[in-house]
Chains A and B, each alone.
Chain A
């Protein structure tokens, strides 16, 4: 690269500009650069410090739960599992995703409890989650993070943030702002309705007999290009036990129950796709679709090994619900993009931090 050599033959420079013109031109250049820099700062959120960004959302989790470096900012307490998904081929009518061809694909997953405290004691009422990563044959992946609530509590990330703060105990007083929650519910009938729906699905006894719901709507695209709005959930094959009987001093009784249950054999869930009809809302995670919607059993998840986060590579997987294979795409639900963004923020923070042992240690899993 020798572009800077002297051009001895170039023409003489043009006459000097009058100083007013010179000033105007200099000012224009300065202004243009300043506008570009300002636009960049604006795009990056630096000029709107009170906007709800992924970082702000994760900051809220950190301030509500305290600092727990190395752990997920939500669903912090968990345990890793592996197994496989056996597709029965029924999903192919709606989606061309390879995962729905009849046959088996390996999965890795994680059971966890909602909340950002990795050492919190298990309770019967804590929301449980199951995240699954389906490994498709040529490197494609399908990741889904599900919880044991039949509907979500809000429809938008802004409402989620507000509701999260309102329903969390004040770090100083330890009390929940009941008046604030009441005002929120009055303003958000969808949340009041969702809580009623959630109340009509009492929690089961443990991780192994829980259903888990993906909550958000997605779109399936089949080989002919037809698009269908869907939701999916997993239905336990295990007999469902009542959830309230678990009075115990074991801080990890849900995890220990899962570990014990798996010792006597693999656990199975049916993957059920709920087929939306035209007009069913796809951007309202707080609202269930009518109960008569078609439910297709597309195959069975078998979970046959369990391992502490301390040794499992699954600890370092971000169960981003928008890691999707060809044949499954996001709906217009605004929570999907927000979840993807917030999970990424949490992942980026924790991956750079020193790791502490999980409450569900290797000894716990192996004892």
Chain B
């Protein structure tokens, strides 16, 4: 397929959400892993973790809808077929984790018979009945998904840096928040 009608970048909203969510997700992974190991800071970290998780869930849904409704830019030509497959698969994996992690967290608190407090008197309804075994399973799942997301984040950041600094194929320009004009020969036929 020719790139005649492929944009040079992801949709503006996708790019903004990408960087906003990147910051929130990295912060969340660190908050999550710290709070579990902390006695003194546990409470304020948990109190932050819950509403931030729900914010990420909302942003992830907006981002998924935006992604499905807009066109993605083409990948640089130098990328091998095998790497294209990996890149193509990494996207749904990441989106699944963005949505699954907060949902599992919410479900886990529901199953653990906890009120799901956001801030002040604002709280969410439970999405599962209170059930001990379910809580235990979801609690483990939440941790495993978080480790998976952290590893996926490292792989993603490492791969993009490799392309940008070593191969210098301009892959990052697809996602930078500012507008990048297509280079000569790009985006036209």
Q: Residues of A with Cβ closer than 8 Å to B?
A: 1-11, 13-14, 17, 22, 25-26, 28-29, 32-33, 36-37, 39-40, 43-45, 51-55, 57, 98, 138-141, 157, 313, 316-318, 320, 322-323, 325-326, 330, 334, 336-338, 340-342, 344, 347-348, 351-353
Contact = CB atoms under 8 A, between A and B. Distances in A.
B61 to A, nearest CB: 16
Contact of B130 (A10, A313, A348): A313
Nearest to A28: B165
Contacts of A43: 30, 33-34, 37
Nearest to B150: A40
B40 A338 contact: yes
B87 A4 contact: yes
Interface residues of B, number: 71
A326 B132 contact: no
17 contacts: A4-B75, A6-B1, A6-B77, A9-B188, A17-B168, A29-B165, A29-B166, A32-B157, A33-B158, A36-B157, A43-B33, A318-B114, A320-B114, A326-B121, A337-B40, A351-B135, A352-B133
Nearest to B8: A7
Nearest to B123: A139
Given A1-B92, A7-B3, A318 B67 contact: no
B39 A13 contact: no
Interface string B175-189: 000000001111111
A134 to B, nearest CB: 11
Contact of A54 (B42, B78, B162, B168): B42
B166 A53 contact: no
Contacts of B130: 313, 316
A1 B75 contact: no
Contacts of B185: 9-11
B148 interface: no
Contact of B112 (A98, A326, A337, A351): A351
Given A4-B75, A7-B6, A351 B133 contact: yes
B75 A6 contact: yes
A320 B112 CA distance: 12
Given A7-B6, A37-B154, A13 B78 contact: yes
Contacts of B123: 139-140
Contacts of A22: 166
Contacts of B76: 7, 10
A344 B49 CA distance: 15
Nearest to B131: A316
Given A140-B115, A352-B136, A330 B43 contact: yes
A138 B125 CA distance: 10
A92 B72 CA distance: 57
Given A3-B72, A8-B3, A11-B186, 13 more contacts: A3-B74, A7-B76, A10-B186, A55-B37, A313-B113, A316-B132, A323-B117, A337-B39, A337-B40, A341-B42, A352-B132, A352-B139, A353-B136
Q: Which of B37, B77, B125, B183 has the most CB of A within 10 A?
A: B37
B42 A9 contact: no
Contacts of B165: 25, 28-29
B43 A336 contact: yes
A139 B125 contact: yes
Interface string B21-55: 00000000110011111111111101000000000
Contacts of A353: 136
B96 interface: no
A351 B168 CA distance: 51
B120 A9 contact: no
B77 A8 contact: yes
B43 A341 contact: yes
Given A9-B185, A318-B112, A29 B3 contact: no
B167 interface: yes
B88 A342 contact: no
A352 B134 CA distance: 8
Q: Which 6 A-B pairs have the closest CB atoms?
A: A352-B136, A3-B72, A45-B37, A7-B74, A341-B42, A326-B121
